[in-house]
Amino acid sequence: MTIDRRLAHSGFTLTRDYPVPVGNVWQAFADGEQKRRWLSDGDAFEPGEWRFDFRVGGRDVDEAKFHGGPRSRYEAVYTDIVEHVRIVTTYDMWLDGTHMSTSVASFEFEEISGGTRLTHVEHGVFFDQFWADGPNREEGTRGLLEALARHLE
């Protein structure tokens, strides 16, 4: 079997307002127990390896197997953290052991009237058979921001 070697680039910006203070939204990212709760958002998958080290240079790992589907693995490094202001990471994704993508992602936290505006900007490079998955990443991230909203309620 020959693998088509190619790259695709994809980027997106998502903005979401939450009716809670910046500190609450920040803690959902900075506290490992909270982050794991909202990322799992129910029982859609079987959790696997989990590591959480929220500091510049720290690494996160989140591995899970979707029921009836593939095993997903996320490995991130925090490159910049300014409390209650921003988080910047680089991260890699694997699907069933195959390297899928490498991305740079930022999260900006802004106090607004009645709550917090979270802006997520991401730029990714998708490898080989995953070259067309950029729109799926955006949709998946949109789902995670919805899960965060449910967590913050």
Beta-carbon contacts of residue 18 (< 8 Å; ≥ 6 apart): 24, 25, 115, 116, 117, 118, 148, 149, 152
Q: List, for residues 27-67, the tens digit of each pLDDT value.
A: 999 999 999 888 876 666 677 889 999 999 999 999 988 77
Q: List, for residues 89-133, the tens digit of each pLDDT value.
A: 999 999 999 999 999 999 999 999 999 999 999 999 999 888 888
| pLDDT bucket at 78, cuts 50 / 70 / 90 | very high
Q: Which helix (H) or strand (E) holds 134?
A: helix 134-152
Q: Which helix (H) or strand (E) holds 82?
A: strand 71-82
pLDDT at 3: 66
